[in-house]
Amino acid sequence: MNLHEYQARDILRRHGIPVPDGEVVTTAAAARAAAERMGGAVVVKAQVHAGGRGKAGGVRVVKTPTEAEAVAEAILGMTIKDLPVQKVLVTPAVDIASESYVAIIVDRVSQRPVLMVSPAGGIDIEEVAARAPQQIHRVAIDPRYGLLAHQALALGFTLHRDLQHARAAAAVMQRLYTAVYDAGASLAEINPLVTTSDGKLLALDAKIVVDDNELERRPELAALRDVSAEAPAEVRAREAGLTFIKLVGTVGCCVNGAGLAMATMDLVKYYGGEPANFLDIGGSSNPQKVVSALQIITADRAVKAILFNIFGGITRCDDVANGIVQATGQFPLIVPIVIRLTGTNELEAVRILTKAGFSALTDMDEAVKQAVAAAQGDGGGGGTAA
């Protein structure tokens, strides 16, 4: 779950990381009033679950409340990466002397939280990684001991030459680790962490992603979810109990089980296609889930063919078949569908599907080849290995 910047800032502040004040508002007039209270010079920042807001024009530094009102008006009408801006954060403008980058991510390779810092702050870390990888410094944190003072200070010195700033940065790093641990975060990023012209250290931006699996035992964090700011397809999928991730391709995939879903995506790519999504309908037997899944997939205009890949174990193939028949009765498909089912109640499923005018395959390679070909518009069959 993504938190908004203002929510992430509150968490950092509670952990003792210096963060400027801020007010979240939903109207231009309220932005003006907030700017007046803050003495005029403020930053108006779009609160959306997207990075690179600055580049998109969603972060603006202004000198007067009148300007704050005008830019708030403009930002509140913006859409950044398909997400409409509904709230802006107004925060006192800071005189920046230097910008650095500090983040903690859970890293698969080291199987640990990794603290990653760079003196090249304020720009995307991907850009730094591409242009100047030597400017990124890392340490893997042993969860038994946490981030140790000397580790933090060593990284503090990669950001600042003088002891005072290095120490202050190290303190931010240690507090950030505690925040990550307490929030069950998979990522926490401060970009930029700045020094001001009067020598202070401040976190000007904050991004926290909470691992969804941690929300059950952290109701106070779960309550921060802002459904109105999430992609509609992802909200619908979550409400329907599906695991769904939108991707950029054209083959809509509907699969049971995360492992099979990954294998299906790999095979789609192997045969020259691009998956439009990851979608796991889970291990339950429930035609309604299939209906919801098809609703979500068909709502995506980029989808040019739909691929069902079901390995019936606990999931019964006949339930999936019934779901497909029900769904296509409710909303006729405008793109080709390729169905592969095997396992529990497979024969019954084939009977249900055939009766409704669908054909069903049992071979996964064949199904994927057909779906890729259908998405590429040559009407099924064929498809060559990459």
**Total of residues contacting Mn ion (CB under 5 A):** 2
CB 261 within 8 A of CB 247: no
CB of 147 to ligand GDP, least distance (A): 23
Part of the chain binding Mn ion (CB under 5 A), chosen from 123-131, 169-177, 183-191, 244-252: 183-191
CB 188 within 8 A of CB 30: no
Pick between residue 81 and residue 355 the one whose CB is nearest to ligand GDP: 81
Per the structure block, which two tokens stand in for 172? 């931010």
The correct pick among 191, 250, 256, 322 for binding Mn ion (CB under 5 A) is 191
Q: How do 360-361 and 337-343 pair as beta strands? A: parallel
Q: Which residue has the tokens 């908004």?
A: 4
CB of 53 to ligand GDP, least distance (A): 3
Catalytic positions = 101, 189
Residue 118 binding Mn ion, by CB under 5 A: no
Residue whose C-beta lies closest to ligand GDP: 54
Pick between residue 120 and residue 140 the one whose CB is nearest to ligand GDP: 120
Residue 255, contacted partner among Mn ion, ligand GDP, none, CB below 5-8 A by kind = none
d(CA 171, CA 152): 7
d(CA 98, CA 210): 29
Pick between residue 205 and residue 318 the one whose CB is nearest to Mn ion: 205
CB 104 within 8 A of CB 182: no
Pick between residue 50 and residue 335 the one whose CB is nearest to ligand GDP: 50
Part of the chain binding Mn ion (CB under 5 A), chosen from 60-68, 97-105, 202-210, 292-300: 202-210
What b-and-e string marks burial along 46-76, b requiring 16 or more CB atoms within 10 Å of the CB? Answer: bbbbbbebbebebbbbbeebebbbbbbbebb
**H helices of the chain, where?**
5-14, 28-37, 65-76, 125-131, 149-159, 163-183, 219-222, 232-239, 258-270, 287-299, 317-330, 346-355, 364-375
Residue 94, contacted partner among Mn ion, ligand GDP, none, CB below 5-8 A by kind = ligand GDP
CB of 218 to ligand GDP, least distance (A): 25
Cβ count within 10 A of residue 116: 19
The identity of residue 18, as a single letter, is P
Q: How far is CA 133 from CA 59, 115, 125, in A?
A: 27, 15, 9
Pick between residue 91 and residue 292 the one whose CB is nearest to ligand GDP: 91
CB of 186 to Mn ion, least distance (A): 18
Residue 205 binding Mn ion, by CB under 5 A: yes
Pick between residue 214 and residue 226 the one whose CB is nearest to ligand GDP: 226
Residue 189 binding Mn ion, by CB under 5 A: no
d(CA 140, CA 111): 9
CB of 44 to Mn ion, least distance (A): 15
Which positions from 280 through 319 interact with Mn ion, judged by CB under 5 A?
A: none
Beta bridge partners of 117: 102, 137
Part of the chain binding Mn ion (CB under 5 A), chosen from 112-120, 190-198, 208-216, 375-383: 190-198
Residue 296, contacted partner among Mn ion, ligand GDP, none, CB below 5-8 A by kind = none
d(CA 361, CA 380): 13
- Site residues, ligand GDP (CB under 6 A): 43, 45, 51-54, 59, 61, 93-94, 96, 99, 122, 191-192, 204-205
Residue whose C-beta lies closest to Mn ion: 205
Residues that bind Mn ion in the complex, under the rule CB under 5 A = 191, 205
